[in-house]
């Protein structure tokens, strides 16, 4: 919805999240990527809003597998570099031991 308060908050919060971390992957994820939007959504969800200002998060089965779906996910990862591979490798090793 044009002018939705969630996206206004996301846009207004860009400058305060503009940080350079030790890793390009973490910098992108936390300043403009999915982690950034998750953080903003969490802040937004703790505030009171009118029903028309609610944010609904679609599950995978809602945006991928229905004949009425108009969303899709295309894996790109064009911004992934050495650091993303290292992070995923560490996560894979840690997840196996838990």
Segment 38-58, tens digit of pLDDT:
999 999 999 999 998 999 877
Beta-carbon neighbour count of residue 15 at 10 Å? 8
pLDDT at 97: 59
Helical packing angle, 5-12 and 34-45, nearest 10°: 120
Predicted pLDDT at 47? 92
Domain ranges of the chain: 5-97
Answer yes or no: pTM beyond 0.85. no
* Residue numbers in the chain where pLDDT is lower than 50: none
């Amino acid at each position: 919805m044009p002018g939705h308060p969630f996206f206004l908050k996301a846009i207004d919060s860009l400058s305060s999240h503009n940080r350079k971390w030790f890793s390009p992957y973490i910098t992108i994820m936390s300043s403009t990527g999915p982690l950034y939007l998750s953080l903003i959504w969490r802040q937004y969800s703790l505030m009171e809003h009118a029903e028309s200002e609610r944010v609904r998060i679609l599950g995978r089965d809602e945006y991928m597998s229905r004949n009425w779906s108009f969303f899709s996910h295309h894996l790109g990862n064009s911004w992934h570099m050495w650091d993303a591979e290292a992070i995923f490798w560490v996560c894979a090793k840690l997840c196996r031991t838990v």
